Amino acid sequence: MSTTRRKPYPFSDFEPKWQQHWDHAQTFHTPNPGEPDFDPARPKYYVLDMFPYPSGSGLHVGHPEGYTATDIIGRYKRMRGFNVLHPMGWDSFGLPAEQYAIKTGQHPAVTTAQNIAYFKGQLQRLGFAYDWQREVNTTDPGYFRWTQWIFLQLYNSWFNPSSNRAEPIETYSGSDADSARLAYVSEAPVNWCQALGTVLANEEVIDGKSEVGGHPVERRPMRQWMLRITAFAQRLIDELDGLDWPEGIRLLQKNWIGRSEGTEVHFAVADSAEKITVFTTRPDTLYGATYMVLAPEHAIVDRLVTEEQWPAVREYREKTARKSDLDRTELAKEKSGVWTGAFALNPVNGERIPIWIADYVLPGYGTGAIMAVPAHDERDWEFARKFALPIREVVATAPRVSIGNKAACNTEPLECFSGEGFAVNSGPLDGLSTADAKADITARLKAQGLGKKCVNYKLRDWLFSRQRYWGEPFPIVWEDGKHRALSAAELPLTPPELADFKPTGTGEPPLAKATDWLRYSDKATRETNTMPQWAGSCWYYLRYCDTKNAGRFVGTDAESYWMGGGQPGGVDLYVGGTEHAVLHLLYARFWHKVLHDLGHVSTPEPFQRLVNQGLILGEDGQKMSKSRGNVVNPDDVIAEYGADALRGYLMFMGPLEAVKPWSMAGVEGIARFLARVWRLVMEEQQDGTFALGAVSAETEPDKAQFRVIHASIKKVTADIETLSFNTALSQLMVFTNAFVNVSPRPLSAVRTLLTLLQPFAPHISEELWKNLAQRFGSAGELCDAAWPQWDERFLIEDEMEIVLQVNGKVRDKIIVPKDATREAVEALARSSAKIVEWTAGKEIKKVIVVPGKLVNLVVA
RNA sequence: GCCGGUGUGGUGAAAUGGCAGACACAACGGACUUAAAAUCCGUUGGCGCGAAAGCGCCGUGCGGGUUCGAGUCCCGCCACCGGUACCA
């Protein structure tokens, strides 16, 4: 990038100046209720960014895209008289800092502090109106003591199914409270990543590989802390309804939670007292169940397998256990399994069907056992074909009279049909539609105690512990093999000092190396797992409301003011990337609901309105990445074109939600526009400096000028409300272009332009506003000015252009007075020479008059 | 496979069912300049007719439909991007 390029306006002089001014004057500090400068008469607006992980490589242009959008909204709402909460902070626990520490020996806290300083500098150079007094940092003990405190709330509560709420554990009347807690210990198989030396949540495993780093992940049984998010599955679905979220994200969350309605059916095991329960969404196909499959891990397998089959079963189970998730995915095409030697009895007809184990049945979903209906399920079909198991058609596309003939029943279908239709070969169900058959058979099973309706969710409980150093330690100690919570007074529990942050490789967390720290008392030792990175981001939006509070995670007055407001969600606008659709956004909602149930927060949902900014691609149309060399660094853009131009371009390049490619030429276009605004006010001197121009004057705008001014106020206001910043900027360009060649140039027009421009390009507009004060008197600071109002009277034109169409094709245009009647407009249309020509010799069958718009004549 | 999203000039994109391409970028032409940059003015969807003013036809991924009128609504396809996958 050339450094000799002449700057079209001196942004490098005044942009840092204003940034320092805002910092020194604390212009954007927002007081809390009860503080001296707080004005309770104003409504509140809480606009939130997804806070960044301060990585070593600094911001990329995707960050300021969303941040600029919220900054515009925040500055705009402020001018509209709202108390605006617009904070920023750091999601700073996490793997990269720890891995850097392992490599260099430098403590993660040191690199984290350096990265934060770098990020903060970058954000400040963009002129964002954050209240930096509310900065939060998830690795700050003053912050994570409350993350730990919230964990204690989870630990000390349970989900009461009858009230459908989280309640204090004291209200639990069962015998084993530990089994009911929302935070509990489980021995279940988990996703273990050898390369990272830690376990991962389901959400962090993609295609059998770790989301971070892409390392292989395998399943291993380990003792882990879990959070009982599944108890909230239904509420997490239902309560999306009150939120103003993109439909796509709601669907992603719903699909992730994966509610499915079906029936539980109990199968007896032949020659045994054992019983196997399966879950199916197609109970109507029960007569077509020709075998049964258990997950290899299913506990009952041990009690079923026959002597002869044991070697094969043992070998298959071991193979399955060794398989990583990646292998399972790769081998998904080919079905595998082993017969246990046992048979189950189909409850509807007493038929003996073989019981198999196969890894296509997952241990964690439903009951870990299925009835296999190969004629009507693709997976069962494949499996049955491979192992030559019988296939019986029980659903047909049209109702069919059952022949009741055994030979006919055994005719195998030629392909799998998994759709809905009508029951056949199904005894009493024959002829019923799939929906009716489901209801009928479920009622029959229920009456005989052989099954019942039930609901299943794909969502699993949240694996909450990590074998890492750089995370929040659990406020838990162990004594005699039992866990117990620290008291809130013992928080924060800070991580120990360590020289070696490496994972042990055995699954034993690195904190175990700190022997002094580990010892809690003569008998008790500390939990050595740490919390996942998601913990800190689950509640940071609450801490922003009251960052300095040392006595509570958030003060009740501050919380109810900033998070209140009569909507389900407390944050008025939340902007961030789609990548958090099922992770952060689901976890945060879960924690929020627990806190709400326990009476700690005032709303059931955290985020009312959610907007996802679209990805910014490189100039080559590809995803930005270091290896492609197409990454754009905002610092370079600011050095070349200024912060206002970068902000403006980010908003002008297209709709906020759209994926769009970067274009340096586009930045230049915005810079040219801003330079044109600059020259509306300033004139270049002989020596190359700028001074206030002479053309601005306190003259009245004329009628046409008034129309541009008020049309612009109207459009820019409406566009900001709908986050259509690209079209708002177009209108500001139209506004500017309309006054470029005007002399004398009405001061009121220029001031209105600067006011509308302020949220987008705060530095240049503030500077010009101040310069105008040299001659015309001070009007205070622009960011404090009131947002202008438009007056419809200025928008009404005396005359209107009417489009004349014949059969929907434009043939002429006429000018009519604004108050012309329908009849008058039609008469004028009919008398137009071109219309006469186009309709000559034809019958006019119909005339459509759209007032103020067009006349359409329909001819034969 | 399934679930989302997107298809409009050379490019980024605009268009409450009512003049398709606002606003920009790029390109080209002109003014200013010794020259260049910057700036300002103009042209710019395609095809055809015309010396010109202008006129006509076609045009929003493809095929149907609804409507006086469709980029916009409905049905059926195609392509690309993103997510997700043995969830019974």
> In the structure, how far is the CA atom of residue A733 from the C1' atom of nucleotide B43, in angstroms?
21
Round to whole Å and give the CA distance between A429 and A411: 19
Round to whole Å and give the CA distance between A324 and A338: 19
> In the structure, how far is the CA atom of residue A733 from the C1' atom of nucleotide B57, in angstroms?
35
Q: Is the CB of A669 under 7 A from strand B?
A: yes
* Contact between A283 and A260 (Cβ < 8 Å): no
Pairing of strands A338-345, A352-357: antiparallel
pLDDT tens string A20-63: 999 999 999 999 999 999 999 999 999 999 999 998 888 888 89
Round to whole Å and give the CA distance between A541 and A548: 14
Query: Within window 821-840 on A, which residues have Cβ closer than 7 Å to strand B?
Result: 834
User: How sure is the predictor about A579, in pLDDT bands with cuts at 50, 70 and 90?
Assistant: confident
> In the structure, how far is the CA atom of residue A739 from the C1' atom of nucleotide B1, in angstroms?
58
Residue A438 gets the label, from left (phi > 0), alpha (psi -120 to 50) or beta, of alpha
A802: pLDDT strictly greater than 50: yes
**Which bases in strand B are touched by protein, i.e. have an atom under 7 Å from a CB?**
3-6, 11-16, 18-20, 22-26, 37-41, 56-57, 68-70, 81-88
Percent of chain A with pLDDT over 70: 96
Round to whole Å and give the CA distance between A32 and A327: 55
Percent of chain A with pLDDT over 90: 69
Return the structure tokens found at A45.
């607006």
Return the pLDDT at A2: 38
Find which nucleotide's C1' atom is closest to A367's CA. B88
Return the pLDDT at A407: 39
Contacts of residue A787, defined as CB under 8 A and 6 or more positions apart, other chains included, come to A76, A79, A80, A717, A755
Q: Which residue type does A98 have?
A: E
Q: Is the CB of A372 under 7 A from strand B?
A: no
Average pLDDT, chain A: 90
Q: Is the CB of A296 under 7 A from strand B?
A: no
> In the structure, how far is the CA atom of residue A786 from the C1' atom of nucleotide B22, in angstroms?
28
SS3 state at A117: helix
ipTM of the complex: 0.95
Query: Within window 313-352 on A, which residues have Cβ closer than 7 Å to strand B?
Result: 328-329, 331-332, 335
Q: Is the CB of A854 under 7 A from strand B?
A: yes
Q: Which residue reads 């209108």 in tokens?
A: A731
Return the pLDDT at A106: 87
pLDDT tens string A225-276: 999 999 999 999 999 999 999 988 998 999 999 999 999 999 999 999 999 9
Q: Is the CB of A665 under 7 A from strand B?
A: yes
Residue nearest to nucleotide B86 (CA to C1'): A360
Find which nucleotide's C1' atom is closest to A733's CA. B23
Round to whole Å and give the CA distance between A248 and A240: 12
Residue nearest to nucleotide B13 (CA to C1'): A654
Find which nucleotide's C1' atom is closest to A856's CA. B68
Round to whole Å and give the CA distance between A149 and A143: 10
